[in-house]
Amino acid sequence: MGFLRPVKMTKIGVLGLKEDRERIVAALHDLGVVQLEPIRKEVLELLEAEHADESQRATATALLRIRGLRAALPPVPVAAPPASWPNRGALLADAAAVPIDAEVAALKREEDQLLTERKGVRDTLELLDRHAYYTDRLEYLQGRHLLAFFGEGVEASVARFRATTAQVPNLTVVPGPAGPTSRFLVAVPTADAEFVARAAQTAGVRLVATPNLPGTIAESRPGLIARQSAIDARLTEIYGRLGGISQYWYARITALEEGLTIENRKFEAWGRMGSGASTFALEGWVPVRARARVEAAVQNAAQGRVEIYPIPTSEEPPTLLDNPPGVRTYEFFIRFFGLPVGTEWDPTFIFAIAFPVFFGFMLGDWGYGSAILAICLWMIAGFPGGRHLPKGIRSMVTGIMGPSGMQMLARTLVPGCIVAIGVGLNYDRFFGALFPFATPFFDPVTNLGKLLVLSGYIGLAMVTLGFGLGIVRSYYTHHRGMMIARIGGIGVSWGLAFVGLAVIRGTFAFGALGTQVPLALLLGGIVLLVVGEGLFGFMGILEVMSHIISYTRLVGILLSSAFLAIVINTIAQQTASSNILGIQAIGIVLGLLILIAGQTFNLIVGVFEPGIQGARLLFVEHFSKYYEGGGKSFQPFASGRRYTRPWIDAIPPGGVPA
């Protein structure tokens, strides 16, 4: 488990015999702790790039076939124990032995045809029901020189259509009953059909060709209903048969699909290896702590006929974070900013401590804290009853972030809400109001000066910590100038802080020891900044000052939220106590509406503003001293298993079975 550092990585190479290749690749895959890399150019001068063979093509083909079968079958619960095969050949043979392709394909084709036909029958029945005013025989509407359509549209659209087509000779219109939607039958000579169709489209009228059916509408309906029933009955038979096939085969097909998917994934190693006449080579990154386990597993898989060697390199290793479970939640923010590279600090732990404190301090109200905590717990629980929320709210929430992202964000806000509740109880603030019969331990309004000084000390501590981590990183990466500048930054930070406090308190005096020490720190820090960064070091003075002062936003956002809540409560109370139009009840209702709308708005602000500003104080004012990001995530060569076991476990010692 890492602390303030990504997991340390090392690059290794594997040189083995081709006869052991599948076992070695399987061992690396099932360990899941190695990120394979393309073989280096200097190695390819001695070996050749490997290419796909017939086994890979056979595996991909079998996977497509089995995946199609699984998609065609209705899912059933899989309770069978995980499957295993002694080698890839046995897996392919087991997949080839599944005999249900022809029957499943025939049933699915018939299902598609019947579904298409059922939709046509249903649409025809609905069309006939809407135009039941036509009582003559339907076959009269079919002819070599005549086309007939059922039409419908709003009254104004139909009127425009009738006016446009009035000039068409031999056009006949049979109007339907009056109603919100005007329906009619129109018969038109074939030569004028295109003109009539364009007129209908322009007017906004829908035309549908009359169905080619015998008899009247009343006589045709029973036959259509009977056909619909027959289709439904046959579909029921098909679904029953597919369900029976699924009961017998679904578990096996699911295991085969997973096994083939994993075997297909293993072939990624082929594209990254070098190959000789009887040997092959692979390279990849592995956590230092897992190297011994990798060596033992690979040596066991190859019966000791393999060489594993370290590869000296100046490349940046991939980044693997390994924080404790509670801290790991805040990797959400770090990944958003950018993963650390292997030579950087991992700031997740610092973020996990500072962000909830900043968020709770700025929110500072146990009413808002409790409400946001309840919303977070509801989100973490999976949004129970969320479908009943207004569509606009659901669209707004899902437009910001997906459900899984919202749940992750909710988990990061829970500690901050708890801090906000504690701070709010200390301030005795509940949605901006004082609780009756309660006395605040600390009033932020009357003690504004103390809060500003506290926020300044917090800023000084965070800036100093950032510079301190920057010094250590610079030392280990041999950036001497950067290390000197970071030491100077600490001197400037403390010098500015204590000189500023002396000026504010009126105790600044050049002869006093309490002034000389901060001035010496300030001047010495400036010199070190200039030595480390050149003339840009003078800009560093302003940056240090602005970063410390920036932490006073902790107080500014706290007070802005508190004052806004007080204003909302005051306006709502005054409105509720007013006689509007001489009626007290109207004032009470309006007052409640103002209170609910205003507090809802302030609650939303209470989520976004402390969250954004708390993250900003860390990303900008703190991370900039030692953290750049830009690391690439560690991608191990592995696959998840649920329905299968690694086949290498089933292979006896002595080599790969034929």
User: How far apart, in whole angstroms, are the C-alpha atoms of residue 658 and residue 651?
Assistant: 11
Q: What is the mean pLDDT of residues 17-26?
A: 91
More confident residue, 20 or 534: 20
654 pLDDT above the threshold of 50: no
- pLDDT value, residue 419: 93
More confident residue, 439 or 164: 164
Question: What does the pLDDT read at residue 452?
Answer: 86
Question: Please, are residues 28 and 307 in contact by the beta-carbon 8 Å criterion?
Answer: no
DSSP 3-state assignment of 61?
Answer: helix
Mean pLDDT over each residue of the chain, to the nearest integer: 86
> What would the pLDDT profile of 153-189 be if each residue is shown by its tens digit?
999 999 999 999 988 888 888 999 888 889 999 999 9
Q: Return d(Cα 594, Cα 576) in angstroms, integer.
A: 9
Instruction: Please give the Cα distance from 34 to 12 (Å, whole number).
Output: 9
Is the per-residue pLDDT at 9 higher than 90?
Answer: yes
- Percent of the chain topping pLDDT 70: 92
The answer to whether 548 touches 540, Cβ cutoff 8 Å, is no
Helices (H) and strands (E) in the chain, counts: 21, 10
So what's the pLDDT on residue 656? 36
Residue 492 has pLDDT above 90, yes or no: no
3-state SS track over 432-491 = CECCCCCCCCCCCCCCHHHHHHHHHHHHHHHHHHHHHHHHHHHHHCCCHHHHHHHHHHHH
pLDDT digits (tens, 9 = 90+) for 252-284: 999 999 999 999 999 888 888 888 889 999 999
Which pLDDT belongs to residue 270?
86
Report the distance separating Cα 197 and Cα 149, nearest Å. Answer: 10
pLDDT of residue 199: 93
**Fold topology of 112-227:** Alpha-Beta Plaits (3.30.70)
The strand pairing partners of 227, in sequence order, are none
Buried-exposed string 15-32: b where 16+ CB fall within 10 A, e elsewhere: bbeeebbbbbbbbbbbbe
The mean pLDDT value for 398-407 works out to 73
Answer yes or no: is pLDDT of 152 > 70: yes
Maximum mean pLDDT: which of 108-112, 273-277, 397-401: 108-112
**What does the pLDDT read at residue 652?**
40
Residue 66: is its pLDDT beyond 60?
yes
In which band, very low, low, confident or very high, does the pLDDT at 399 lie, cut at 50, 70 and 90? Answer: low
224 within 8 A of 125, measured Cβ to Cβ: yes
Among the listed residues 435, 431, 504, 492, the one whose alpha carbon sits nearest the alpha carbon of residue 463: 492
Residue in this structure with the two tokens 């298993």, named with its chain if needed: 641
Under a CB-based contact definition with an 8 Å cutoff, are residues 459 and 598 in contact? no
Quick one: pLDDT band at residue 543, thresholds 50, 70, 90?
Answer: confident
Q: At CA 239, angle to CA 238 and CA 242, rounded to 5?
A: 85
pLDDT band at residue 357 using 50, 70 and 90 as cut-offs: very high
Q: Show contacts of 589-597: CB within 8 Å, 24+ apart.
A: 594/568, 595/568, 595/569
Q: Using an 8 Å Cβ cutoff, are 9 and 287 in contact?
A: yes
User: Which residue in 39, 94, 37 sits closest to 62, CA to CA?
Assistant: 94
Q: Considering only CA atoms, which of 479, 493, 494, 491 is closest in space to residue 533?
A: 479
Q: Looking at the DSSP assignment, which residues form a beta bridge with residue 528?
A: none
What is d(CA 84, CA 255) in angstroms, rounded to the nearest whole number? 9
In this structure, how many other beta carbons lie within 10 angstroms of the beta carbon of residue 459? 23
Q: Say what the pLDDT of residue 260 is.
A: 95
SS (H, E, C) 10-54: EEEEEEEEHHHHHHHHHHHHHHCCCEEECCCHHHHCCCEECCCCH
Q: Which residues pair with 319 in a beta bridge?
A: 633
Q: Assess whether pLDDT exceeds 70 at residue 604.
A: yes
- Contact of 168 with 129, CB cutoff 8 Å: no
Model pLDDT, residue 400: 64
For the stretch 617-650, pLDDT in tens is 999 889 988 888 888 999 999 998 999 988 665 4
DSSP 271: G
Indicate the pTM of the whole model: 0.75
